[in-house]
Chains A and B, each alone.
Chain A
Amino acid sequence: MNREIRRVSLVVTAMFIALLVASSTIQFAAAGKLRADPRNSRTFYDSFDRDRGPIIAAGGTIVAQSKKSDDDYSYQRVYANGQLYAPVTGYVTVVGPPSGLELIENEVLEGTADSLFWTRVQDVFTGKKPTGGAVELTIDPAIQQAAWDALGEVQGSAVVLDAKTGEILAMVSKPSLDPNSLAVHDPKAVQATYTALEKDPTGPLHNRAIGGDLYAPGSTFKLITAAAALESGDYSADSQLEAPQALELPNSTRKLTNFADSSCAAAGVMTLAEAMTVSCNTAFGWLGMKLGANVIANQAERFGFGQDLSIPLYVSPSTFPKAMDRAQTAMAAIGQFDDRVTPLQMAMVVGAIANGGREMRPHLVRSERAADLSVVREVRAEELAQPISRATAATLKDMMIEVAETGTAKRAQVQGVTVGAKTGTAETMEGQAPDVWTVAFGESQGRTVAVAVVVEDGGALGRSGSGGAVAAPMAAAILGAVFE
């Protein structure tokens, strides 16, 4: 029998080896994948038991931080002025992965990022409990607040960029949400809040500045059409454009008309600069057909349309439609048809114009810091692209200043600041209130700032709303706060 018992012993050993192999696979080889599974609530619980680092706005204002808590978890995430910063910070929750910068900068905030390696080594030797690092934002609390206040109760978004560095000084999306309501430790409450937010027709979960459904740019797109014309070398600010009362669209019964059916020029012709000042649809429609869809599309692409961008939040690419006939090209050239943009993209366009043709890489994070706030990674200003020549930039800049001084964007003016602007009133659907825009730059004391403001459904004015009437004063208020 002993021979058989030894064989049984071998079988038993084999069974144990199977268990050892399976355990090693689960706990070592496949552990990373299992930990990353979105259903693995332990990973989120862990993050709630960590002293997660703070998110700090420029100047030291703490926007998000973890405070000791004595319930199920060791720490409670607290968002100071949560609604104001929600599009930037995102939130952490016990029911799923975090969002916004809380997700993107998770490793820094948890203290597990590679950049914090030496800090962790030090913690091991000093016996200190590891704590998360801090993330410093480029957001200026005063400007962020001003942008928030300027928008008031409307649905829409505002983005403020430092044109020379690409730093995002403000990024507001309305309506917003209170991250504190999602950071509570009761999973049922979180789920209920989230479901309500998801079902809310005003879409508070969308960060309208960089994502969501995007917007039709309306006449603000004329800046890009004009840039394409100037870059082509065939046009200058003084080039004569045909500007009929109504532009016949080829192969179409529709005619392109101007705002309120007005005529831009009694003579039926006007210069490019004049057309910009009064935002003449027929002139730009004509110009668009002359240039052709490809030329405009190329210019839009050089500004960043159709390209992935992370700031480090993911930015939905703005789009200029492809494969259009001439009628559609004319519409697209004035920012109608299927053009879709983010407010950030339009702020980048204005920033490039105001910054001598150099488009700076927009970013939200100024630095990543260890728990003791020593800097472990600093984000430097970096050129993203040079979409237009210095000369084109100067020409467009003058045109925009003219728009703000005498044209449609007079209400974007700010005392003591050189302001250039362009308005837009984008028809979304027949019979519906338009989405209204103002993009602008302000320049004073060596500082150049680009702003994009979009207000949905005409804002307070509804169907009679226009970019100049609704959005331009908001841009002015924001620029006023910047240069205060």
Chain B
Amino acid sequence: MATVLPGGARPGRWAELLLLILALGMSFFAYAQVALAVTGRLPAQMSVQCGGFTVLVLVVHLILRWRAPYADPVILPVAVLLNGIGLAMIYRLSLRYEERGVDPGSSIASKQLIWTVLGLVAAAVTVTWLRDHRSLRRFTYTALILGLVGLVAPLAPLIGTSINGSRIWIHVGPLSFQPAEVSKIALAVFFAGYLVTRRDAMALAGPRVLGLQLPRLRDMGPIMAAWVISVGLLVFERDLGTSLLIFGLFVVMIYVATNRPSWIMIGLILFSGGVVVAYRLFTHVQNRFAIWLTPFDQSLYEAQGGSGQLVQGLFGLANGGLFGTGLGRGRPDITPLAYSDFIFASIGEELGLTGVVAILLVYLVLVERGLRTAIGTRDGFGKLLATGLAFTLAFQLFVVVGGVTRVIPLTGLVTPFLAYGGSALLANWIVVALLLRISDGARRPPPATSEIDIGPVLQAEAARAASSSSAARPHGAATPASGGPLTERAGDQIATEAVRRP
């Protein structure tokens, strides 16, 4: 893991500021365009709203300068841009819903704005409060409990509610929340903490079957547990999306932790098995597959809960064509849930293939920046956590957009940052804050200890040790009580520095 140099000494905060101005400018332009196209004039409170949003974003920027000066300069602007475009689109739909006098009405835009503010505040607090991501490792098992509680909470009798056939919401008083969104972060923390401790044991060779080195049977416990949780989600909450997300997250993290492709094979086999069983047992799973494969079938199209929504989304995308109808000029509201599950279709209709490609690439930049952070980070826990969080964003996007574009069967998940949904927005801003925090550690130049002059022979030694370190070096597992992270970090730095100098 020492093949990559630390990101260099340039913090990149000015680049971030420039990108932020661009992101804000594009978002405001989209907002104005929507209002002009639909109502013919700018929104009354546009200057207040845009001013407030700008101030808030700049505050986050300043906090980064203060608390995480080496944080990746691209992550925040990209998140702001996606959030801003999402807000403009939701505002556009709210105007239309208001005009037609149908649910969910005009309130979605202001609600989403409030959640955006809360998200930014949560991100600022996270970056300020969490000085070093490694301290999260102390909460490995707390995170597990938090994550599981979040997943199970919707099943609780009084607070849990079922919406559109999925039981994934909790209501407390007037507030509703999708706890699974926070669970995914907690579980990523748990997986990272757990796997970084157990990775060596889990990487040990077991039986060899058909040329594939399988893990030992007794190490199969965790993946089976993750599988059972996923299947449980599918069965009891009918939450295909989160089920897929949790399991995918675990398989990717265990693969990265242990360097054993066999985990992926095992994961795929378990997953396929789960799918086959679910398909046999549950009509709603069969229905999803039928919708995916034959959406244009007339009876399926007309059926309640049939393919109508998907097909209308496809029509919307098709009518958008290459360049879209222009913001505010399409008919995205025809598609049910155009502001949440189908926001991608709404954007595709009004911004066209051009806009869709741009947005997908912006997401790709965000995810790749997250993975780059994972590569640049020196501690195993940070690597796993960053990989997990970045992958969560990518996978979540793939599951939703893939569902809308018929790459995979449609499952309910929130398009990160774009779609309407407070819990998801809050959770994704925390994900971004964590990535920023980890990236600060990854890009920060090594402290003065690295200046120690070591001779050329030692350098070579260290380089060799470093290159073989990722799999062989006993991480926290061997020295759990002695403040593992610190020792580990020192070792990593010397190794990295040693490679850097020749």
Contacts and interface: CB of A to CB of B under 8 A. Distances in A.
Interface stretch (A40-48, A149-157, A352-360, A385-393): A40-48
B368 A1 contact: no
B360 interface: yes
Q: Which 6 A-B pairs have the closest CB atoms?
A: A34-B318, A22-B405, A27-B353, A31-B318, A4-B256, A40-B315
Interface stretch (A10-18, A117-125, A264-272, A470-478): A10-18
Contact of B391 (A8, A33, A34, A45): A8
A255 to B, nearest CB: 53
A51 to B, nearest CB: 15
24 contacts: A1-B256, A5-B374, A5-B387, A6-B371, A9-B371, A12-B394, A16-B398, A18-B402, A19-B360, A20-B357, A24-B353, A27-B320, A27-B356, A28-B321, A31-B317, A31-B318, A32-B318, A35-B315, A37-B315, A40-B318, A42-B316, A42-B319, A42-B330, A46-B319
Contacts of B468: none
A2 interface: yes
Contact of B402 (A22, A27, A32, A37): A22
B267 to A, nearest CB: 12
Contacts of A12: 364, 367-368, 371, 390-391, 394
B321 A1 contact: no
A196 interface: no
A22 B391 contact: no
A23 interface: yes
B338 to A, nearest CB: 12
Contact of A18 (B319, B322, B383, B407): B407
Interface in B256-273: 256-257, 259
Nearest to A15: B398
A1 B257 contact: yes
Contacts of B361: 16
Interface in A28-73: 28, 30-35, 37, 39-43, 45-46, 72
A2 B353 CA distance: 34
A373 interface: no
Given A12-B391, A24-B353, A27-B322, 14 more contacts: A1-B374, A1-B383, A12-B394, A16-B398, A18-B407, A19-B402, A20-B360, A26-B405, A27-B352, A28-B321, A28-B353, A30-B318, A42-B315, A45-B334
A16 to B, nearest CB: 5
Contact of B317 (A20, A23, A37): A23
Nearest to B406: A22
Nearest to B301: A39
Interface string B286-305: 00000000001000010000
A199 interface: no
A4 B259 contact: yes
B319 A2 contact: no
B465 to A, nearest CB: 16
A12 B367 CA distance: 8
B405 A19 contact: yes
Contacts of B360: 16, 19-20, 23
Nearest to B332: A42
Contacts of B402: 15, 18-19, 22
A23 B259 contact: no
B1 interface: yes
Interface string B1-28: 1011000000000000000000000000
Interface string A349-375: 000000000000000000000000000
A34 B319 CA distance: 8
Interface string A185-203: 0000000000000000000
Nearest to B376: A2
Nearest to B386: A5
B316 A5 contact: no
A13 B364 contact: yes
Contact of A19 (B252, B255, B296, B398): B398
A126 B462 CA distance: 71
Given A8-B371, A9-B368, A15-B398, A27 B317 contact: yes
A39 B371 contact: no
Contacts of B252: 8
B65 interface: no
A8 B392 CA distance: 12
A3 interface: yes
A28 B296 CA distance: 18
A31 B321 contact: yes
Given A16-B360, A23-B317, A34-B315, A41 B334 contact: yes
Nearest to B398: A15
A27 B334 contact: no
In this complex, the member of A12, A13, A18, A32 whose beta carbon has the largest number of chain B beta carbons within 10 angstroms is: A12
A15 B314 CA distance: 19
B262 to A, nearest CB: 13
Nearest to A30: B318
In this complex, the member of A3, A33, A35, A43 whose beta carbon has the largest number of chain B beta carbons within 10 angstroms is: A3
Interface residues of B, number: 55
B179 interface: no
Contacts of A26: 314, 317-318, 348, 405-406
Contact of B334 (A2, A13, A33, A42): A42
A249 B1 CA distance: 104
A34 B314 contact: yes
Nearest to A34: B318
B259 A3 contact: yes
B331 A1 contact: no
A23 B360 CA distance: 10
Contacts of A27: 317-318, 320-322, 348, 352-353, 356
Contacts of B407: 18-19, 22
Nearest to B388: A8
Nearest to B345: A26
Contact of A39 (B311, B394, B406): B311
Contact of A8 (B352, B387, B397, B470): B387
B356 A23 contact: yes
Contacts of A8: 252, 255-256, 371, 387, 391
B255 A4 contact: yes
B100 interface: yes
B383 to A, nearest CB: 5
Nearest to A33: B318
B394 A1 contact: no
A28 B301 CA distance: 23
B401 interface: yes
B394 A15 contact: yes
Interface in B62-102: 99-100
Nearest to A11: B252
A23 B348 contact: yes
A185 B406 CA distance: 32
A46 B320 CA distance: 12
A393 B334 CA distance: 60
A43 B319 CA distance: 8
B319 A6 contact: no
B100 A72 contact: yes
Interface string B305-335: 0000001001111111110000000110010
Contacts of A37: 296, 315
Nearest to A22: B405
B364 A16 contact: yes
B380 interface: yes
Contacts of A34: 314-315, 317-319
Nearest to A12: B394
B375 interface: yes
Contact of B331 (A19, A23, A42): A42
B495 to A, nearest CB: 13
A230 B269 CA distance: 85
Contacts of B394: 12, 15-16
A34 B315 CA distance: 6
B418 to A, nearest CB: 14
A19 B401 contact: yes
A16 B259 CA distance: 24
Nearest to A40: B315
